Chains A and B, each alone.
Chain A
C-alpha cells in the first residue's frame, strides 16, 4: 500500500472527527458557584408521555405543572428571596431504556435540582441510577416498595407505597366491620403478577395478620387472565368474609363480572393500589356492577381544604375532570419539594441548592400544615433515611350510585361507606 493512500485516510479521519465534534452538544458546564443563586430553580418532570403508560404520565405532568404555577403565584421560595421554580418536562417513553435516556437527557440539557417521576417502578429504578450518580433529587411517584429498598440516597417518595395501600385496604374493612358490629375474620387476598401487585398483597397480608385475621385464600394470577371463575369458586369454597384484591384494569372488570355472574359475591370486596375498580373507565365499563366496589387511592380529591379545592378547580378547568391519582400525587410532591427547598434555604443559606444540603433538608422535613399537607392523604409528612413517609396513608374510594366517594379514613370521609355489600350472596 502506498503512503499516499494512508495520508488520504488520515485526512478523512481528521475531517470526520472535526465534523463530529462540531455536531455534538457541548458538555455540561459545572453547577453554578455555590453562594450565587440562579435566576430560577429548575425542576424536571420526567414521565411516560408516550406508549402504554402515557395516560398516567400525562396526568402526572399536568399535576406538576399546576403545582409549579401555584407555587410561583404564591411567591416562590421565600427563604431564597422569592426565587421562582422553572419546570422542564420530558417524555420517559415506556421502558427502562427510554427512561434512562430521558434522565440523562433532561439532566444534561437543563441541570434540574430535582426531578419528579416516573410512575412506573422499573423505569424509576433505571432513571434513579442516573439521578444518584448526578446527585439530583428524585421525587418518585412509583409506589412499588422495592423502589426505596436499594439504598438510593437522593430518592424521596411522599406518596403511600404499595404495601401501605394493602394495609389501608385491610384496615378500612376492619374499621368498617367493627363499626357495623360484624365479625369479619376470614380474608382472601388476590393480586395480579406485577411487582406492584405483589407489594400490595404483602402489605395486606401483614395487616391481616396484625389484625388477627385468618388468610383463607391467597392467589397471584397473570394480569391478562381471561377466566376468573375457578379463582372465584375457590374464594367461595374458602368461605372468605371479604376479598382484598390488587387488580390492573381489565382483570378488575373480569373479576367483578365473575363475582356477579356466578352468584358468589362476598360480604365485601376492596381493591388496593388505585387502578381497577373505581376509576372512571372501570365504572363506565361495569355499569351497575361497579356499585359498592371500593379501592385505595394515593390522593384524596375530596379533601376539604382551601388548597385542595383550588387544585381540583384548576385541574378541572384545564382537563374537564377531577384530578386522578397520578396528578394528585405529583401536585403534593411538588409542594413537598417546595417545602424542602424552603427549609434548605433556612438551613444552608450559602448553598441551598447543593444536592447534599437539599437532601438534608428533605430528611429534616416535618410538615403538619401548609399546602402539601392540605392535599396529602394523611396529616404528617416526614421522611425516613430510605426516603419513605411511614405516616403516608391511602384513602379509600367506594362507588356509590355510580360515583367514586371517599369513605375512609373516617375523619376525611365524604360519605359513610355502604358496608357490608347489600348484594352479598355469601
Chain B
C-alpha cells in the first residue's frame, strides 16, 4: 500500500475525528442536541468496548450494564463517603469492574461455559447484581442516592453544560477505539479471532483460550466500568436500577448490528440506531405511543435478515464506490 492509498484509507477516520471535535461548536448552544450527541457517543463507547469480548472473542456477553453499574457505584460511593473525585473514581470504577469480571470470568471460562450458556450467565449477572445492590443498604438500597448537586464543579465532574461531558465521553471513545485497534493488530487479537471462529481448533494449535477470553473480558469491563463513573455524574444519582438487562442487551445488539469484530462497526451502529430511535421517540412518542419501538424492532430485524454481517461492510463498500468515482479505481482501498 503506498502513501496515497494509506491517506485515503485514513481519510474517514480523520474527518470523523475533526467532526467529532467540532460538534460542540456547531450544536453546543442547544442543550438537547448536545445531550443527544453525548448519549450517542456514550452508547458508542459501550458498543465499541463490547466489540472486544463480543465481536473479537465471540462471546455473546449480555452484562454491559453490570460493569457499568459497578463503575457507577464505585465512583459514586467513593464520592459520597470520602469525597474522592470521580476523575480518580473513573479509574477505580474501571478496576473494580475488571476485577469483578475476573472473578466471574475465571470460573466461567475454566469450566468451558460458552455460547448460549455464556450469554445466559452474563444476563443473569446483571440481575444478580441488581438484587444484591438493592439489598446492600450500606452502598445501594432501594432509595436513589444523589451525588452532591453542583451547577459546576470540576472536582465533582459536574457541569452546567453537556460540552465537558461530551469531550469526556469522546475521550473514552477514542481510548476504546484505540484499544480495539491495538488488540486487532496484536497477538491477542489474532488469537481471539481464531477463538471466535472455532475454539476447539484454536486450542489444538496452542491458543490458551481461557486466558485470552479472560483478558478480553477484563479490558471490556474496565472501559465500561470507567464509563459508568461518568454516567453517574451525568445523571447525578446512583441506583440499583443501573443494573439493567434490557439496556445490556441493547449494547450487544449495537455490537452485532454494527458488524462483529470490525473496530468501527459498533460505533456506526450506535450513531445510526441510537439517534434514529431518539428522533422517533421525540417526534412520534407522544402522538403514536409505542409505534417507534415497533419501527425500531422492524429495522433491527431487517438488518439481521439481510445484513447478518452487520452494517459496517456496507459502509466500506459505499466508501470504496465513492472513492472509485472521485479518485479513480486505482486508489480505492
* A residues with CB within 8 A of B: 1, 5, 9, 12-13, 16-17, 20-21, 24-28, 49-51, 54, 58, 61, 89-91, 93, 95-98, 100-102, 104-105, 107-109, 121-122, 125-126, 129-130, 133-134, 144, 146, 150-151, 193-199, 220, 222
Q: Is B285 an interface residue (CB 8 A)?
A: yes
CB contact under 8 A between A102 and B131, given known A20-B26, A122-B237: no
Other CB < 8 Å A-B pairs besides A13-B19, A17-B26, A199-B143, 15 of them? A13-B18, A17-B22, A50-B289, A50-B290, A90-B286, A95-B247, A102-B285, A104-B35, A109-B32, A122-B237, A134-B31, A193-B142, A195-B142, A220-B142, A222-B131
- Cβ of B29 and Cβ of A27 under 8 Å apart? yes
- Cβ of A21 and Cβ of B144 under 8 Å apart? no
Pick the residue among A93, A107, A195, A196 that contacts B32 (CB under 8 A).
A107
Pick the residue among B11, B23, B29, B143 that contacts A146 (CB under 8 A).
B143
Task: Across the A-B interface, give the 8 residue pairs with the lowest CB-CB distance, nearest first.
Answer: A91-B285, A27-B29, A104-B32, A108-B32, A89-B286, A27-B30, A195-B143, A150-B146
Pick the residue among A26, A28, A97, A125 that contacts B144 (CB under 8 A).
A125
- Cβ of B30 and Cβ of A24 under 8 Å apart? yes
Give complex CA distance A377, B131 in Å. 35
Chain B positions within 8 Å of A93 at CB level: 281, 285
CB contact under 8 A between A126 and B235, given known A95-B247, A146-B144: yes
Chain A positions within 8 Å of B7 at CB level: 1, 5
- Cβ of A98 and Cβ of B146 under 8 Å apart? no
- Cβ of B142 and Cβ of A197 under 8 Å apart? yes
Give complex CA distance A27, B144 in Å. 33
Pick the residue among B4, B19, B29 that contacts A5 (CB under 8 A).
B4
- Cβ of A151 and Cβ of B149 under 8 Å apart? yes
- Cβ of A129 and Cβ of B144 under 8 Å apart? no
Give complex CA distance A1, B146 in Å. 53
Q: How far is the CB of A78 from chain B (nearest CB, A)?
A: 29
24 residue pairs A–B, Cβ–Cβ below 8 Å: A1-B7, A9-B14, A12-B15, A20-B19, A20-B26, A21-B26, A25-B32, A27-B27, A28-B29, A49-B290, A50-B281, A51-B290, A90-B282, A91-B289, A95-B244, A98-B281, A101-B35, A105-B32, A122-B239, A122-B241, A125-B144, A144-B143, A196-B142, A199-B143
Chain A positions within 8 Å of B27 at CB level: 24, 27
Q: Is B304 an interface residue (CB 8 A)?
A: no
Q: How far is the CB of B27 from chain A (nearest CB, A)?
A: 5
- Cβ of A122 and Cβ of B142 under 8 Å apart? no
Give complex CA distance A21, B30 in Å. 12
By beta carbon, the residue of chain B nearest A16 is B19
By beta carbon, the residue of chain B nearest A128 is B236
Give complex CA distance A186, B278 in Å. 51
Chain A positions within 8 Å of B11 at CB level: 9, 12
Q: How far is the CB of B156 from chain A (nearest CB, A)?
A: 13
Chain B positions within 8 Å of A1 at CB level: 3, 7
CB contact under 8 A between A101 and B160, given known A61-B286, A93-B281: no
Q: Is B113 an interface residue (CB 8 A)?
A: no
CB contact under 8 A between A28 and B30, given known A9-B11, A91-B285, A126-B235: yes
By beta carbon, the residue of chain A nearest B19 is A16
Q: Is B33 an interface residue (CB 8 A)?
A: yes
Pick the residue among B32, B239, B289 that contacts A49 (CB under 8 A).
B289
By beta carbon, the residue of chain A nearest B143 is A195
Q: Is B80 an interface residue (CB 8 A)?
A: no
Q: How far is the CB of A315 from chain B (nearest CB, A)?
A: 18
By beta carbon, the residue of chain B nearest A100 is B35
Pick the residue among A28, A126, A193 that contacts B236 (CB under 8 A).
A126
- Cβ of A108 and Cβ of B237 under 8 Å apart? no
- Cβ of B290 and Cβ of A54 under 8 Å apart? yes
Pick the residue among A50, A105, A194 that contacts B142 (CB under 8 A).
A194
Give complex CA distance A193, B30 in Å. 38
